Amino acid sequence: MARGKFRKSVLKRFKITKKGRALRRISGLNHFLSKKSRDLIRTKRKLTTSDLDLIENYLNY
């Protein structure tokens, strides 16, 4: 029986830690940071629970 394949795009973008947290690079923080507020930059660090569920579904093969 054939095994399912991992989604390569998810494997490239996320790393799952031992405790089950997902590490990722934050989008929108390359340049023009002086125009963005500190609150916006701080909130971009967080992952929502729905995003974490999607990531786990893609990696459960």
Domain membership flag for residue 4:
no
- How many domains does the structure of the chain reveal? 1
Q: Is residue 16 assigned to a domain? A: no
Say if 55 falls within a structural domain: yes
Determine, yes or no, domain membership for 40: yes
Residue at 25 is within a domain: no
The answer as to whether 59 is a domain residue is: yes
Digit-by-digit pLDDT tens for the chain (61 residues) are 566 677 788 878 888 778 877 788 777 778 888 898 999 888 887 776 667 788 877 776 5
Q: Quote the domain boundaries for residue 42.
A: 34-61
Q: What's the 3-state SS for 1-61?
A: CCCCCCCHHHHHHEEECCCCCEEECCCCCCCCHHHCCHHHHHHCCCCCHHHHHHHHHHCCC
Residue 9: inside a domain: no
